[in-house]
Structure 1
Amino acid sequence: MKIVILSDTHAKALPPRLLEECTSADLILHAGDWGNLAIQEQLEAFAEVIGVHGNIDSPAIQSMFPDKQIIHAGKFKIGMVHGHGDKRTTEKRAIDAFEDETLDAIVFGHSHIPLIRYAKRTLLLNPGSPTDKRRVPYYSFIVLHVGEVLRPELILFEQ
């Protein structure tokens, strides 16, 4: 199974590098700050889209997507949250959002800084942003290959 993971699109045009990966995706996860619903419509042309809302999303987007959710991909349990809030780091807020759950991975966004690492036995995945790189040198998203193991691949690119 191939999952394309993105976040923080902020209603900007989706780049060709991302759309190229979406053509062979089995599932697309969006970790919030969509900016508008046109992003969802565009992604749904490729695969099922599951997401959460972020701190800049309108009430219409918030009504369509929860603030956090858990999905199953193969034998793995994946939590998804945007990661915004007060105090602590984005990463810590994402971990704390699922403190009562045993998860294989947590997908989050908000910081626009890509991250792939383990916190204890949970894989943390922040795809960065494919449209708004802010203080990092490249735009980014993650391709997660789901098989016997979770194998994340960080895709860095220039527009």
Structure 2
Amino acid sequence: MKVIVVSDTHMPKKGKKFPNRFISELANADLIIHAGDWQTIEVYEELSRYGKVAGVYGNVDNQDIIVVTEEKKLIELEGFTIGVVHGHGEKKTTEKRALDAFTEEEVDCIIFGHSHIPLLRYFKKTLLFNPGSLTDKRKLPYFSFGILYIEKDIRAEHVFFQ
């Protein structure tokens, strides 16, 4: 199973269309997960043209996104539980807020966004994955998104591009 993971698209403010590198991966995705800050419903609608979309809302999303998503989401895939949350809030780091969002659940992976900083690491036995931003790299050298491969285990990778 191939899952495309994206966050912080901030469209149309930070980008008018999906980058070609991203579109090429969408063609054979089994699922698309968005970790918030879509900004408009048009991003959700455009992603839906490529396949099934699941996601959460972020701190800049408008009401149209809020009504079709959740603040946090649990997704079951191939026997694994994936938690998705944007990660915004006060105090603590984005990573810590993402971890705190799932203290009551057993999750194999937590996907989050908000910081625009790509992250891939384990906390104990939980894979933490922030895909970075597709359209707003801030001071980082590359834009990015992520791919989860789910088979006997969960493997994640970032795709970096100019």
Does the residue aligned with 2:53 lie in a helix, a strand or coil? strand
User: TM-score scaled by structure 2?
Assistant: 0.96
Amino acid at match of 2:57: H
User: TM-score scaled by structure 1?
Assistant: 0.98
C-alpha deviation, 1:41, in angstroms: 1.1
Give 1:99's match in structure 2, choosing from 59, 83, 103: 103
Matches within 5 A, 1:74-153: 74-153=78-157
Distance 1:96 1:135 in 2: 27
Distance 2:139 2:128 in 1: 20
Does the residue aligned with 1:64 lie in a helix, a strand or coil? coil
C-alpha deviation, 1:121, in angstroms: 0.5
Distance 1:7 1:29 in 2: 8
Structure 1 alignment gaps of length 5 or more: none
Deviation beyond 2 Å, 4+ runs, structure 1: none
Does the residue aligned with 1:141 lie in a helix, a strand or coil? strand
Amino acid at match of 2:104: D
Deviations 1:71-112 (A, max 9, x none): 011111000000000000000000000011110000000000
Alignment correspondent of 2:71: 67
Does the residue aligned with 2:141 lie in a helix, a strand or coil? coil
Alignment correspondent of 1:3: 3
Structure 2 alignment gaps of length 5 or more: none
Identical aligned pairs, as a percentage?
51
C-alpha deviation, 1:47, in angstroms: 1.1
Give 2:26's match in structure 1, choosing from 22, 26, 42: 22
